C-alpha cells in the first residue's frame, strides 16, 4: 500500500479519535518546562522514567509552575499536520511539590554543604588545546570551532563525543571528563550542549556528573543550555558560560595577526629612522654654522686646493660655499 504523508497522518489521527482508552484519562506526574504561548499553556508532565507534552487551552485552569505535582484529566491527541502527540488537558488538580524537584533540591544542598560549589580552579593563561565533551552532531561543536578559528586558529579542539540527553548521557559525559584527565592532552575542558527542556538537561543534574566535574584536575567550563538554564554542573564547574560559543570566547585569547605585528614593527622602525635622520641633519647644520657666512673652499679629488700651482687644465673641481657647493672644470 502506497500512502502520502497526509494520508498516513490522517489515518493515525482517526485511530486516536476512535480509541476510547485515550479519552477521559487521569494522569499523574510532575510539571516541567511551563510556557505560555498564545491562548494555551504548554508544559511537560514527567515521572521517573518518561514524559509527555501537554497543552491546556484555558489558562485559568492551568496556573502551574515547574515542579508542581498534579493530576490531569484529558485526552491524548495526535496533531496530524506535524505528526506529534499531545495530551490535551481538560482539568488539573495540584497534589503537592514534585518528587523530582524535591530530589534535586536535596542533592543541591548536599553538594553545597560538602563545599563542591566553592572549589574553583583558575583558567590557564595560555591555551593550546581544549577538550570538548559534547555531541558530535548539532551546532555546539561547530559553534565552538568557528569561534576558535576566528579568535586563534592555532588552538586545537579535541572532541570526546558523548550523548547529552537520554539514559546513557550521564555515563558518557563522565567518561569524557575522565578521559581528558587521564591523558592530560588538553589544557582545559568544555562540557557543552545546546538548549532544551528540563528533561533534556536532566543528565547535567545527576550526582555522578556533578561529582566528576567537581573532581576534575583540569579546569572545566560548563556551557549547558541557554543563558537562563541552570544545572548542577553550572555550580560545580570552575567557570560557567551562558552558551557554548561564549565558552570559547571566554577561554581563548585573541591572537594578534601577523599583519598587525609587522605594521607595529614597521611603525617603530620608521620612528627610529626618522629620529636618527633628524638628529644627523641637526648636527650637520650645526657644523656648517661653524664657518663664516662668506666661506668659500676649492677641492680636487676630495682634497682642499691651497694653491693655483696644484691645478692643471681640465681638472674637475668642487667649489664649496657656506650654503652649498658646485662643480667646475679648469680652462686651459
pLDDT confidence of residue 73: 87
Write the CB contacts of 115 (distance below 8 Å, at least 6 apart in sequence): none
**CATH 2.40.50.140 occupies which residues in the chain?**
5-97
| Nearest-10 Cα torsion for 245, 250, 251, 256 | 100
The arithmetic mean of pLDDT across residues 76-98, rounded, is 84
Predicted confidence (pLDDT) at residue 102 exceeds the cutoff of 80: no
Predicted confidence (pLDDT) at residue 116 exceeds the cutoff of 90: no
Interval 258-284: pLDDT, tens? 556 667 777 778 777 877 777 776 665
**CATH 3.40.50.2300 occupies which residues in the chain?**
104-251
The arithmetic mean of pLDDT across residues 309-318, rounded, is 81
Interval 302-311: pLDDT, tens? 788 778 777 8
162 φ/ψ angles, rounded to the nearest 5 degrees: -145, 145
All cell numbers assigned to 100: 523530582
CA–CA dist 289, 241 (Å, integer): 70
**Could you say which of 3.40.50.2300, 3.30.1360.120, 3.30.70.3340, 3.40.47.10 is the CATH number of the domain covering 104-251?**
3.40.50.2300
The arithmetic mean of pLDDT across residues 179-185, rounded, is 94
pLDDT confidence of residue 304: 80
Interval 204-227: pLDDT, tens? 988 999 999 999 999 999 998 776
67 touches 31 (CB < 8 A): yes
291 touches 280 (CB < 8 A): no
Query: pLDDT band at 287, cuts 50/70/90?
Result: low
How far apart, in Å, are the Cα atoms of 38 and each of 53, 57, 228, 256?
16, 9, 22, 49
| 5-97: CATH number | 2.40.50.140
Amino acid at each position: 500500500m502506497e500512502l502520502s504523508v497526509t494520508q498516513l497522518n490522517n489515518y493515525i489521527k482517526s485511530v486516536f479519535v476512535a480509541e476510547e482508552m485515550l479519552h477521559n484519562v487521569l494522569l499523574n506526574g510532575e510539571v516541567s518546562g511551563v510556557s505560555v504561548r498564545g491562548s494555551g499553556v504548554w508544559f511537560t508532565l514527567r515521572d521517573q522514567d518518561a514524559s509527555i507534552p501537554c497543552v491546556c487551552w484555558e489558562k485559568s485552569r492551568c496556573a502551574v509552575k515547574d515542579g508542581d505535582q498534579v493530576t490531569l484529566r484529558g485526552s491524548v491527541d495526535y496533531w496530524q499536520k506535524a505528526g506529534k502527540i499531545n495530551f490535551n488537558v481538560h482539568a488539573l488538580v495540584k497534589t503537592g511539590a514534585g518528587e523530582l524537584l524535591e530530589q534535586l533540591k536535596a542533592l543541591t544542598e548536599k553538594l553545597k554543604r560538602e563545599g563542591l560549589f566553592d572549589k574553583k580552579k583558575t583558567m590557564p593563561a595560555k591555551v593550546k588545546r581544549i577538550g570538548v565533551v559534547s555531541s558530535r552532531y548539532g551546532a555546539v561543536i561547530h559553534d565552538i570551532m568557528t569561534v576558535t578559528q576566528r579568535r586563534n586558529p592555532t588552538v586545537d579542539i579535541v572532541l570526546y563525543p558523548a550523548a547529552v540527553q537520554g539514559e546513557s548521557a550521564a555515563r558518557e559525559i563522565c567518561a569524557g571528563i575522565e578521559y581528558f584527565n587521564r591523558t592530560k592532552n588538553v589544557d582545559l575542558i568544555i562540557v557543552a550542549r545546546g538548549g532544551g527542556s528540563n528533561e533534556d538537561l536532566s543528565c547535567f543534574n545527576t550526582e555522578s556528573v556533578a561529582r566528576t566535574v567537581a573532581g576534575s584536575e583540569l579546569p572545566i567550563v560548563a556551557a549547558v543550555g541557554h543563558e537562563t538554564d541552570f544545572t548542577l554542573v553550572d555550580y560545580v564547574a570552575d567557570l560557567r558560560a551562558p552558551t557554548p560559543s561564549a565558552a570559547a570566547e571566554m577561554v581563548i585569547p585573541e591572537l594578534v595577526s601577523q599583519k598587525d605585528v609587522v605594521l607595529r614593527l614597521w611603525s617603530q622602525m620608521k620612528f627610529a629612522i626618522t629620529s636618527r635622520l633628524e638628529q644627523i641633519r641637526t648636527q650637520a647644520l650645526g657644523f656648517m654654522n661653524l664657518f663664516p657666512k662668506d666661506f668659500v673652499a676649492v677641492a680636487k679629488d676630495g682634497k682642499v686646493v691651497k694653491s693655483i700651482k696644484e691645478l692643471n687644465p681640465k681638472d674637475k673641481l668642487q667649489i664649496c660655499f657656506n650654503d652649498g657647493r658646485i662643480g667646475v672644470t679648469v680652462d686651459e
